[in-house]
């Protein structure tokens, strides 16, 4: 074990049949403990409680004198720059940095302890420049580009005085009815972990004190994405093995990357609210994952413990949350109104309060907030940010179908029809607080900009440019601009049916009946049920809600200026009734594994529950051919594996088409027999490579202990001897495999 600057490298302890990876990698917040303890030793109990209190910018309405007095008395540790509890879709005012610097000046120069406040805002997938929603950008499988874009976001946020963001959202989800699936990395824990690392590094960089770094927040810890029925704010049932193998890995990766904060979630797990649970907030998060930052509640998640029937009253909510390990109380005033009395009455120990204060102060010290408490502009290149946004949007979009109609010719006559021809705001996606729809090009403008001698015959459902007969006779091809509003996604915006709207389905039928070549461009944030739609379209580009440059990126793909390379990080079910449908399932005892085409007719009598498009799927304008996997061994000693030995699996991927293209080569494993059933496929590696037409690239993966084990119900990482199938291919359904035995 050795220490790099602010990082502790991890090592493996080999103990009998188990072994433990002690991963304590990331920014070491504990190194600030001594300074924090010195500050705490000078604080009154009232001031300590004040550090655990977060208020909103509207807490005092417009009574700024009262707000300033409240801050001056040391009652505010943090301000969330949001004016409502569901800031994701409610209009939010822009940040007035001068005003917040004025409030900070009171905390830093006029309060007794002069502790700076930390300002947080939901800078989720962009600030002024908006990037694809996380479910979209996960489809890019391009960690370095995501990291670059999230660094761009940090630059823009810092320039508005924001030093802390409530992102990345890492809730894995199997249910696209849930409006918040779009905020997360999809259905797979390995993708979740890679995305977590890329986002945290992008936001925080290597030095939290740097002027272009902001503190990240891994949320919503824990299991919020498993809300039953996709209903927001609903209950979850999660076994510990599912928790450790599916839900926790993304958070583990965020901690390993040095995330400074974690947000506790609204939901309960098996009847225990996470926000009041020592098991989740302390035993797992701190003892197993080694998290050293601080935990902030979700909005009013402390007081809701009473509504959940887990606490008597607000004082009991306060006691239960603090003792569970919840450090900063977001906006419900439970801590500021009850904690001092609880301590004075001997119901909560002051040492517990001190511990929470210390964690918050360590993060504030680690980010240099005491040395640089005021927001200040940083120079950034907005054009570069927009170019990165377009690049990430283009790499996120998924070509789901193409029977040769794409790419379009720039001298073609094109019918452009549908409700997303002139739409702007929805292209930005939910949780866009500071991006401007007015600044966002729409699809009509983007398509027009690409034509060279061609014509557009347009009709969007909001305004008539041409009647459909014109479209019929003059257009060579019809492009349908379809999708869903941002207001059917995000917090408190779930749906019970993931079909396209009725008018859009009718439009598809109408255009199909004209017998024209028809391309569907679908601007939806979640996977939608395309049964009865896909077969009527000659090509489908899934454009998601991909931010400021959605329209331009989609137009680039349609005309072949960009060769599509996205691969979906979430399964597309054929219909709502097939939910949940996800790839990393265990095998049935009966010969029925519908997802993998094994007797799918036996899943339902009224439909076939194979995926419309499986996890990891996406087409290109070129074609790739994979060799059989090669491995440098067919077996490996168990102890060698535990001691860090790995083996290498490689494939040759040939570009046999007419375009240079990027391919995301995916590696899956299957542990054939284990003490708990293991999934038919588990993604354990991916690499996106550019392969020029007519050439072949060898892609290799190192496979070691971290890829072959699983977590048992106690959260211990376990590897067992036996046979492992290693698959390497273009999506989760690949049968291109080799077998390796751990003996």
221 sits near ligand GLC (criterion: CB under 6 A): no
Q: CB 51 → ligand GLC: shortest distance, Å?
A: 19
Number of residues located near ligand GLC, criterion CB under 6 A: 10
Q: Which stretch binds ligand GLC (CB under 6 A): 21-29, 81-89, 611-619, 733-741?
A: 81-89
Q: CB 58 → ligand GLC: shortest distance, Å?
A: 12
Residues contacting residue 265 through CB under 8 Å, at least 6 positions apart: 171, 219, 220, 221, 222, 223, 224, 274, 275, 298, 301
- Is residue 544 within 8 Å of residue 396, measured between CB atoms? yes
171 sits near ligand GLC (criterion: CB under 6 A): no
Q: Which is nearer to ligand GLC, 87 or 393 (CB)?
A: 87
Q: Which is nearer to ligand GLC, 388 or 491 (CB)?
A: 491
Q: Is 350 left (phi over 0), alpha (psi -120 to 50) or beta?
A: alpha
Q: CB 167 → ligand GLC: shortest distance, Å?
A: 8
Q: CB 331 → ligand GLC: shortest distance, Å?
A: 8
* Binding letters toward ligand GLC, positions 22-61, x by CB under 6 A: ----------------------------------------
Nearest Cα neighbor of 100 from 55, 166, 161 is 161
Please state, in angstroms and as integers, the Cα–Cα distance from residue 55 to each residue in 85, 164, 428, 491, following that order.
12, 14, 28, 20
Q: CB 258 → ligand GLC: shortest distance, Å?
A: 20
- Is residue 475 within 8 Å of residue 415, measured between CB atoms? yes
Q: Which is nearer to ligand GLC, 122 or 538 (CB)?
A: 122
Q: CB 662 → ligand GLC: shortest distance, Å?
A: 32
Q: Which stretch binds ligand GLC (CB under 6 A): 80-88, 110-118, 405-413, 670-678?
A: 80-88
Q: Which of 27, 67, 87, 274 binds ligand GLC (CB under 6 A)?
A: 87
Residues contacting residue 589 through CB under 8 Å, at least 6 positions apart: none
Whole-number Å distance between alpha carbons of 569 and 567: 6
Q: Which of 188, 212, 232, 298 is catalytic?
A: 298
Kindly tell me the burial class for residue 13, based on how many C-beta atoms sit within 10 Å of its own C-beta (0-12, 13-18, 19 or more).
exposed
* Binding letters toward ligand GLC, positions 111-130, x by CB under 6 A: -----------x--------
Q: Which is nearer to ligand GLC, 418 or 490 (CB)?
A: 490
Q: Which stretch binds ligand GLC (CB under 6 A): 79-87, 332-340, 352-360, 706-714?
A: 79-87
Whole-number Å distance between alpha carbons of 195 and 250: 8
Nearest Cα neighbor of 360 from 35, 57, 67 is 35
Q: Is 620 left (phi over 0), alpha (psi -120 to 50) or beta?
A: beta
Q: Which of 299, 542, 668, 727 binds ligand GLC (CB under 6 A)?
A: 299
Dihedral (CA of 617, 619, 624, 625) sign: positive
- Is residue 668 within 8 Å of residue 679, measured between CB atoms? no
Burial 352-375 (b: 16+ CB within 10 A, else e): bbbebbbbbbbbbbbbbbeeebeb
Q: Which stretch binds ligand GLC (CB under 6 A): 78-86, 186-194, 308-316, 644-652?
A: 78-86
Q: CB 81 → ligand GLC: shortest distance, Å?
A: 9
- Is residue 401 within 8 Å of residue 619, measured between CB atoms? yes
85 sits near ligand GLC (criterion: CB under 6 A): yes
Q: Which is nearer to ligand GLC, 54 or 603 (CB)?
A: 54
Q: CB 67 → ligand GLC: shortest distance, Å?
A: 19
Q: Which is nearer to ligand GLC, 166 or 595 (CB)?
A: 166
* Binding letters toward ligand GLC, positions 462-501, x by CB under 6 A: -----------------------------x----------
298 sits near ligand GLC (criterion: CB under 6 A): yes
Helix H, strand E, coil C: the string for 508-564 is: HHHHHHCCCEEEEEEECCCCCECCCCHHHCCEEEECCCCHHHHHHHHHHHHCCCCCC
Q: Which stretch binds ligand GLC (CB under 6 A): 77-85, 519-527, 537-545, 650-658?
A: 77-85
Q: CB 235 → ligand GLC: shortest distance, Å?
A: 16
Dihedral (CA of 255, 177, 425, 512) sign: positive
412 sits near ligand GLC (criterion: CB under 6 A): no
Nearest Cα neighbor of 355 from 6, 8, 29, 26 is 29
Whole-number Å distance between alpha carbons of 411 and 114: 66
298: annotated active-site residue: yes
188 sits near ligand GLC (criterion: CB under 6 A): no
166 sits near ligand GLC (criterion: CB under 6 A): yes
Q: Which of 82, 146, 328, 498 binds ligand GLC (CB under 6 A)?
A: 82
Q: What is the DSSP string of 709-724?
A: -EE-TTS-EE---EEE
Site residues (vs ligand GLC, CB under 6 A)? 80, 82, 85, 87, 122, 166, 219, 298-299, 491
Give the active site residues. 298
């Amino acid at each position: 074990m050795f220490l790099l600057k602010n990082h502790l490298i991890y090592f493996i302890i080999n103990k009998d049949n188990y072994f433990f990876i002690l991963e304590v990698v990331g920014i070491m917040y504990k190194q600030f403990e001594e300074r924090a303890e010195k500050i705490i030793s000078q604080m009154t109990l009232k001031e300590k409680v004040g550090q655990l209190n977060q208020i909103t910018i509207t807490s005092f309405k417009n009574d700024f004198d009262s707000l300033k007095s409240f801050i001056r008395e040391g009652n505010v540790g943090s301000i969330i720059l949001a004016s409502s509890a569901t800031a994701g879709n409610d209009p939010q005012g822009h940040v007035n940095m001068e005003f917040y610097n004025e409030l900070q000046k009171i905390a830093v120069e006029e309060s007794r302890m002069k502790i700076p406040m930390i300002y947080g805002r939901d800078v989720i997938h962009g600030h002024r420049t908006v990037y694809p929603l996380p479910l979209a950008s996960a489809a890019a499988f391009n960690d370095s580009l995501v990291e670059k874009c999230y660094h761009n976001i940090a630059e823009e946020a810092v320039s508005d005085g924001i030093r802390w963001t409530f992102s990345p959202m890492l809730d894995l989800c199997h249910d696209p009815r849930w409006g918040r699936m779009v905020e997360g990395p999809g259905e797979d824990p390995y993708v979740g972990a890679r995305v977590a690392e890329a986002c945290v590094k992008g936001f925080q960089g290597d030095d939290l004190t740097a002027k272009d770094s902001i503190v990240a927040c891994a949320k919503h810890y824990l299991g919020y994405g498993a809300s039953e029925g996709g209903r927001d704010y609903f209950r979850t049932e999660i076994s510990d093995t599912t928790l450790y193998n599916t839900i926790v890995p993304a958070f583990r990766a965020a901690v390993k990357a040095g995330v400074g904060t974690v947000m506790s979630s609204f939901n309960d797990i098996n009847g225990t609210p996470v926000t009041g649970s020592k098991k989740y907030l302390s035993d797992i998060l701190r003892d197993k994952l080694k998290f050293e930052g601080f935990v902030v509640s979700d909005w009013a998640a402390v007081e809701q413990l009473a509504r959940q029937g887990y606490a008597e009253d607000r004082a009991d909510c306060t006691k239960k949350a603090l003792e569970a390990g919840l450090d900063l109380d977001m906006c419900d005033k439970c801590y500021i109104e009850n904690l001092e009395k609880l301590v004075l009455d001997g119901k909560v120990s002051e040492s517990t309060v001190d511990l929470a204060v210390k964690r918050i102060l360590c993060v504030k010290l680690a980010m240099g907030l005491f040395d640089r408490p005021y927001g200040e502009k940083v120079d950034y290149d907005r054009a570069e940010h927009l170019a990165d946004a377009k690049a990430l949007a283009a790499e996120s979009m998924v070509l789901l179908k193409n029977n040769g109609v794409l790419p379009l010719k720039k001298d073609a006559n094109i019918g452009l029809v549908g409700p997303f021809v002139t739409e702007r705001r929805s292209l930005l996606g939910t949780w866009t607080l500071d991006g401007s729809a007015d600044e966002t090009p729409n699809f009509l403008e983007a398509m027009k900009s690409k034509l060279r001698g061609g014509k557009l015959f347009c009709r969007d459902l909001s305004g008539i440019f041409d009647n459909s007969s014109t479209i019929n006779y003059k257009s060579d091809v019809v492009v349908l601009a379809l999708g869903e509003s941002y207001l059917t996604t995000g917090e408190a915006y779930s749906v019970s049916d993931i079909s396209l709207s009725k008018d859009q389905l009718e439009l598809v039928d109408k255009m199909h009946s004209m017998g024209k070549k028809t391309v569907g461009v679908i601007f939806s944030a979640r996977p939608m049920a395309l049964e009865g739609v896909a077969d009527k379209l000659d090509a489908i580009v899934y454009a998601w809600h991909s931010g400021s440059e959605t329209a331009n990126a989609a137009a680039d793909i349609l005309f072949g200026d960009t060769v599509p390379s996205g691969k979906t990080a979430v399964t597309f079910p054929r219909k709502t009734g097939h939910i949940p449908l996800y790839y990393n399932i265990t095998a049935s005892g009966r010969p029925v594994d519908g997802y993998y085409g094994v007797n799918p007719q036996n899943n339902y009598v009224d439909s076939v529950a194979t995926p419309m498009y499986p996890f990891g799927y996406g087409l290109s304008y070129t074609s790739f051919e994979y060799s059989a996997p090669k491995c440098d061994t067919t077996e490996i000693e168990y102890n060698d594996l535990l001691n860090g030995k790995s083996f290498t699996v490689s494939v040759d991927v040939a570009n046999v088409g007419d375009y240079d293209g990027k391919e995301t080569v995916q590696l899956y494993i299957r542990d054939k027999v284990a003490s708990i059933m293991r999934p038919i496929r588990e993604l354990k590696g991916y690499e996106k490579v550019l392969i020029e037409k007519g050439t072949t690239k060898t892609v290799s993966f190192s496979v070691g202990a971290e890829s072959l084990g699983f977590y048992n119900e106690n959260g211990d990482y376990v590897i067992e001897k036996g046979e492992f199938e290693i698959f390497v291919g273009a999506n989760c359904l690949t049968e291109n495999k080799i077998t390796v035995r751990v003996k």
